[in-house]
Amino acid sequence: MSLLCCRSDSSYSTPPSKSPLQGPTIHTCLHHPHHPTYRQDLADRVGKRFLKQRLHSRKMASARDISQPMGIDRTVSYSLSVSPTATFHSPPASHSFLAGGLPRRPKPLKPFNTEDIKILLLENVNQTGQDILTKQGYQVEFLKTSLPEDQLIEKIRDVHVIGIRSKTKLTEKVLREAKNLLVIGCFCIGTNQVDLEYAAKHGIAVFNSPFANSRSVAELVIAEIIFLARQLGDRSNEMHKGTWNKVSSKCWEIRGKTLGIVGYGHIGSQLSVLAEAMGMSVIYYDVITLMAIGTAKQVPTLDDLLEQADFITLHVPETPETKNMISAKQFERMKKGAYLINASRGTVVDIPALIKASRGGKIAGAALDVYPNEPAANGDYFNSSLNHWGEELCSLSNVILTPHIGGSTEEAQRAIGVEVSDALVRYINQGTTLGSVNLPEVNMRSLTQDEPNHARVIYIHRNVPGVLRKVNEILAEHNVDKQITDSKGDIAYLMADVSNVKTEDIKNIHDNLDSLTSRILTRVLY
């Protein structure tokens, strides 16, 4: 089994097949996002995905064991992130059936020598994720930390897959060197650390875990609200230094207080439920109009929120619009004695302005989990050499500082490990882009064992007129069993399963597609 792959900016091509072409024939239905079967399928298999109107419960289910050509059992699982502990196992959703009602055996979609695939996992990706990738037979290198840019560039040249969390910056400068890179796995929610546009333009898919750690962040924020209201950080520090300081002045219950949530997405809306259960009134501000959960109320402007809230918590992504979203002007708008919590991204709060607001008594406390510059590894790095205000921030009272641990729970990390690794395996082995944050989402059911002599063609190309005609002229000499294509902006993704192909046909198909001017990346899996 082998993989042929070539990107327009590189001459990369993994060695051709070492083992003979296997010969399945395909019997499947189209799985297009707009196809009714797909929609039913998605509802059955994946549950409701979170759409902006708060379809909260997406489930990832199903696990199946498939015998590999080498006789190794492998498991493709879609793990669940709605519950920290649950893992659902259900049969593959769309069986096709042989006469007599026997299900067709899915073809082991391991369409190349797995040891050809080199993966670099940085930032201590959870063991669950490592295990899934290792079981596939890929070459996995695991590092606990992120890497400085020069070392990252050295390493990324060699790999087909990189797995990161929030610290590794995959900028254009770094990605330019990643000539073999097929796919990036962000083992977290945020994808701001990756140049998504550059990646898409170069046929590099990016996957993340959109909500597996949302609950962990929401729980941390609830804890911080109580910690701040009761000055627990300061009392605990004093006790650790041997000082007994029993006070009730400016210590509050949170019941009846107003929580202002900025960014009512996965985390913000989860937090809304928890806060109301604690007796808080919830208001939220978001750039889009969103259905309120419980009795929460959306307010039209950020200023409205700042003026009404006792506690303000930030759950927006890092974008140009959210940079310094909370600065001197916004602190002025806040109630005197308000509290600020930031577990989103460090750039969202202007820290010198926060220091001023804290020293001047405008805010009664703050909790920060994220910072504009964060260390690459654990150790004594949180000082002024990292951020010029480092020591001043540390000296403030009733300010809780945590080292970006919002999503750092066993439950979240396990779920993320499984979810992102599964997405990587599906993409590497089958070309499926479902869940990709930067490429069109394309999904086609896998080949089955009793369908010989098939190849799966993946053609990522510039979205310009006339490409499909040219592609289909190339494929016309073969039987195209199924084909799907979708586009996202300038990038289009085409997937086709062709039957009755011989090894030499595969090379021709690959080379012909690869010579088209629209080509970004050509892969042929068989």
Ligand X SMILES: O=C(O)CCC(=O)C(=O)O
Ligand Y SMILES: NC(=O)C1=CN([C@@H]2O[C@H](COP(=O)(O)OP(=O)(O)OC[C@H]3O[C@@H](n4cnc5c(N)ncnc54)[C@H](O)[C@@H]3O)[C@@H](O)[C@H]2O)C=CC1
Q: Which residue is nearest to ligand Y (CB)?
A: 265
C-alpha span between 156 and 291 (Å, rounded): 42
Contacts of 311 (CB under 8 A, 6+ apart): 225, 228, 229, 254, 257, 258, 259, 260, 280, 338, 339, 341
Residue 189 in contact with ligand X, rule: CB under 6 A: yes
Residue 145 in contact with ligand X, rule: CB under 6 A: no
What is the separation, in whole angstroms, between the first and last Cα of the chain?
Answer: 6
Are 388 and 423 within 8 A, CB to CB? Answer: no
Phi/psi region, residue 150 (left: phi>0; alpha: psi -120 to 50; beta: rest), is alpha
C-alpha span between 331 and 306 (Å, rounded): 8
C-alpha span between 68 and 108 (Å, rounded): 6
- 165 catalytic per annotation: no
* Cβ closest to ligand Y, residue 5 vs residue 367: 367
Report the partner that residue 147 touches, choosing among ligand X, ligand Y, none (CB closer than 5 to 8 A by kind).
none
C-alpha span between 218 and 6 (Å, rounded): 43
Q: How far is the CB of 320 from ligand X (least distance, A)?
A: 18
* Cβ closest to ligand Y, residue 257 vs residue 345: 345
Q: Which of 374, 392, 411, 441 is catalytic?
A: 374
Torsion of Cα atoms, 212 then 214 then 219 then 222, to 10°: 180
Among 140, 178, 181, 188, binds ligand X (CB under 6 A): 188
- 462 catalytic per annotation: no
Helix axes 410-430, 127-135, angle to 10 degrees: 20
Interacting residues toward ligand Y by CB under 6 A: 189-190, 211, 213-214, 217, 262-268, 285-288, 315-319, 321-322, 343-345, 369-370, 404, 406-407
* Cβ closest to ligand Y, residue 159 vs residue 306: 306
Among 24, 47, 263, 407, binds ligand X (CB under 6 A): 407
What is the token pair recorded at 122? 């940085």
Structural element, H or E, at residue 294: none
Report the partner that residue 163 touches, choosing among ligand X, ligand Y, none (CB closer than 5 to 8 A by kind).
none
Among 16, 69, 190, 352, binds ligand X (CB under 6 A): 190
Helix axes 214-229, 266-277, angle to 10 degrees: 50
Question: How many binding residues for ligand X (CB under 6 A)?
Answer: 8
What is the token pair recorded at 462? 């510039």
Report the partner that residue 264 touches, choosing among ligand X, ligand Y, none (CB closer than 5 to 8 A by kind).
ligand Y
Q: Give the DSSP letter of residue 446.
A: P
| String marking each residue 193-222 x if it binds ligand X according to CB under 6 A | --------------------x---------
Phi, psi of 179 (to 5 degrees): -65, -25
For ligand X, which stretch binds (CB under 6 A), given 20-28, 51-59, 97-105, 182-190? 182-190
Q: How far is the CB of 344 from ligand Y (least distance, A)?
A: 4
Report the partner that residue 344 touches, choosing among ligand Y, ligand X, none (CB closer than 5 to 8 A by kind).
ligand Y
Q: How far is CA 101 from CA 40, 118, 227, 277, in A?
A: 21, 40, 61, 50
* Cβ closest to ligand X, residue 237 vs residue 373: 373
Task: State whether residue 499 is helix, strand or coil.
Answer: strand
Helix axes 410-430, 214-229, angle to 10 degrees: 160
* Cβ closest to ligand X, residue 121 vs residue 188: 188
* Cβ closest to ligand Y, residue 258 vs residue 485: 258
* Cβ closest to ligand X, residue 261 vs residue 283: 261
* Cβ closest to ligand X, residue 308 vs residue 408: 408
Q: Which of 58, 160, 404, 454 is catalytic?
A: 404
Are 174 and 204 within 8 A, CB to CB? Answer: no
Residues 71-100 close enough to bind ligand X by CB under 6 A: none
- 345 catalytic per annotation: yes
Residues 146-175 close enough to bind ligand X by CB under 6 A: 165-166
For ligand X, which stretch binds (CB under 6 A), given 70-78, 136-144, 185-193, 298-306? 185-193
Report the partner that residue 265 touches, choosing among ligand X, ligand Y, none (CB closer than 5 to 8 A by kind).
ligand Y
Report the partner that residue 165 touches, choosing among ligand X, ligand Y, none (CB closer than 5 to 8 A by kind).
ligand X
Helices first, then strands: H and E counts in the chain: 15, 19
C-alpha span between 515 and 171 (Å, rounded): 28
Structural element, H or E, at residue 1: none
Q: Give the DSSP letter of residue 188.
A: S
Q: Applying CB under 6 A, which residues contact ligand X?
A: 165-166, 188-190, 213, 407-408
Q: Which residues are catalytic?
A: 345, 374, 404
